[in-house]
Amino acid sequence: MKVLVVEDTEDSRIILEDLLRLHEKEVESAVNGLEALEKARQNPPDLIVSDILMPEMDGFEFCRQVKRDNDLKKIPFIFYTATYTDERDKELALLLGASKFVLKPQDPAKLIEIIEQVWADYINGNISVAGPDEEDRTVELLHSDSLNRKLNEKLLELEKQEEDLKQASLVYQSSSEGMMVTDADNLIIDVNPAFTSITGYSLDEVKGQSPRILKSGRHDPDFYNALWQDLLNEGMWQGEIWDMRKNGEIYPKWLTVNTIKSINGDIHRYVAIFSDITEKKQNEELIWRQANFDMLTGLPNRNMFRSSLDQELKKSRRDDVQLALLLIDLDLFKEVNDTLGHDVGDKLLQETAHRISECVRQTDLVSRLGGDEFAVVLTELKDMSHVDDIVHKITKHLTEPYYIGDEVVYISGSTGITLYPNDASDLEALFKNADQAMYVSKRKGRNCYNYFTQSLQDAAQARLRLTNDLRGALQNKQFKVYFQPIVDLKTGMIRKAEALLRWHHPERGMVEPREFIPLAEDTGLINRIGDWVFIESVKWAKHWHDELQYDGQVSVNMSPVQFRTEEQLFVSEWLDYLRKLDLSEKSVTIEITEGLLLNAEPGVIDKLLALRDAGIQVAIDDFGTGYSSLSYLRKFDIDYLKIDRSFIRNLESDKNDVALSEAIIVMAHKLGLQVIAEGVEAEGQARILADGGCDYAQGLLYAKPVEAEKFGEMLKQEKSKS
């Protein structure tokens, strides 16, 4: 099939040609009706696809001429148009003898399908290809109507263009952006009102002047040379520039300059559009400060401090000098914050920042890293004794009283110190070293400072290895629960047992709880481990109850971390497990520390009361070593106080410890609590406690912690004696 394509738009014509050739059609094309008519008469096609709106002869007239030509009138004719979309246009097309009237754009596959169908209908004689009669005035009227409509549309388009020009003028006059037009010699010929509002200059004051009248003096000649180079090469320039208003005020603006060229390519005008970005720059400055400075204290924040420290390290390498990094963590700040409120805490941090800053030189760096942690960099150190002097001064200043409103507050600081290049040469290593040294200061009792040493690094690496091993200990069944008897001091019979976690490391052997429990708390592993200890403990309690008719309690220690985790399910899961075992909740005691109850958060209180309401009893472990506030004893309905072993150790030789122990016992009994003494190792200690009215005791005098099977044997032996 040979198809004649008539289309004046080149892109559309090429696309249609390629589409037809892709479907194995022979294609000839023309750009208007006159050219198409001549080509059709010279070499008649099998089918014609024609646009309508074309120069010299439109598609309608071309179709009429084709249908009047006896040699051409039988050729199937398809109109393919995007301009003539009215139903009257379609009616005219069909009256002229067109086989099909198709609107652009059309899916290529669908268009080919239409062409194939028209051709098939033509071959089968199913379509008429004749045009209108020679005397048919209807066609001429429709054609005239169509041309008039298109003429009206063109007039409307011209009116719209005129309206657009008016709108453009209105925008120019009312825009909030300043606009300036200069001639080819870059002399000002027009400005808009916003230009006057921003710069202070009227049109009369700047007309004929060079834009240099606005220069601020903040840019060197190279800046303007680069600007003009871009204008000449690219035809535009855009960027930030500082100019000066008529009143002498220097301000930043965002400027876009475009080059307007004439038809022959010569520069005709320069058009500059600009906006005052003073407020934007101020906001950027605020954002930058918020990103780099602590809003509370005004000190550089962690982000800014790391960047500054990195620069100081580079400078120290270049100048071959030493520096010291100090990390300072405030002691007891959380207690002050929780007790006296965040307002007092904020003022305390502000005063702390001021005190630290007063202790150092202007060349040194001070930062608040976050929370109650501060950092100091002592730069350009020539005499290392200077570090001791500064740290001692900071430590002393932090311990002086803080007068905040009506409150007098006392805190201190724990400081870790590391030196460059002695200890490390990069930022991350220095931070890690100082953190390890600060951790040691905390462990030593706070209000002191420590230098980083290799032994600290070794200890940190050992902790890391132990932490990694701890992660797999539960899965690898390396944990075991031991039980230590708690005896009734009146009868000497075992009435309770404290469950104690033991870790059998495959290489290190038995690992002390004081080594791995803090690691489990720091990593959050204590939650899963604590659940496992509870399940193991009550499982053995159920076994002894069923096998030996043991009706005593099992005490399970709980970490504060277990209460403070967001996970609340452990309470319901524990109670469900007890019900599953058909074991009374009164068979279980949980042991907690005093610190958990001091200013306890609502979530902690809810979990504790949920356990209490279910019937599980509560014991305060290590009583007398913490805050020993009596209010929580009533608030949480505590059942037992456990006197710490530090009071028991010297009972036989220290009357003060005897007095303290007796006071605790009397107080507890007055409040309806029972007392358990820990760490009893001698008969004399047990006798003094019994005489003082203590209810229970545990310690090496009775038995060391033993495996569950061994504890069961002890219960059997005791039962056989009774």
Tens of pLDDT, residues 450-482: 888 877 667 777 777 888 999 999 889 999 999
How much is the pLDDT for 219? Answer: 94
Find, among 559, 500, 499, 567, the residue nearest to 526 by Cα. 559
CB neighbour list of residue 170: distance below 8 Å, 6 or more residues apart: none
Which superfamily does CATH assign the domain made up of 294-452 to? Answer: Reverse transcriptase/Diguanylate cyclase domain (3.30.70.270)
* Closest-CA residue to 680 (of 702, 656, 657): 702
Q: How far apart are the first and last CA of the chain?
A: 116
User: Residue 239 — φ and ψ, nearest 5°?
Assistant: 170, -175
What is the band of 294 on the pLDDT scale with cuts at 50, 70, 90?
very high
Q: What is the pTM of this model?
A: 0.50
For the cut 70, the answer to whether the pLDDT of residue 218 exceeds it is yes
pLDDT band at 622 (very low <50, low <70, confident <90, very high): confident
Q: Going by C-beta distance under 8 Å and a sequence separation of 6 or more, which residues neighbour residue 399?
A: 410, 411, 412, 447
Which carries the bigger pLDDT value, residue 261 or residue 4? Answer: 4
Q: What top-level class would CATH report for the domain 483-721? A: alpha beta
CA distance 301 to 374: 9
E runs forming strands in 639-716: 640-643, 674-677, 696-697, 706-707
Residue 285: its pLDDT value, please? 86
How many angstroms separate the CA atoms of 91 and 123, rounded? 24
Q: What is the mean pLDDT of residues 256-284?
A: 88
Question: Are the CB atoms for 674 and 488 separated by under 8 Å?
Answer: no
Query: What CATH number is given for 2-152 in this structure?
Result: 3.40.50.2300
Residue 596 pLDDT exceeds 90: no
- Give me the sheet containing 100-103, strands edge to edge: 26-30, 2-6, 47-50, 77-81, 100-103
Q: Domain residue spans in the chain?
A: 2-152, 175-281, 294-452, 483-721
From residue 708, how far is each of 77, 122, 227, 541, 546 by CA, in Å? 100, 100, 85, 10, 15
More confident residue, 413 or 338: 413
- 342-358 helix and 385-399 helix, angle to the nearest 10 degrees: 150
SS (H, E, C) 482-523: EEEEEEECCCCCEEEEEEEEEEEECCCEEECHHHHHHHHHHH
| 3-class DSSP assignment, residue 101 | strand
> Given this model, what pLDDT does residue 699 score?
95
Segment 289-305 mean pLDDT: 92
Residues 360/376, Cβ–Cβ less than 8 Å: yes
Enter the CATH code of domain 175-281.
Answer: 3.30.450.20
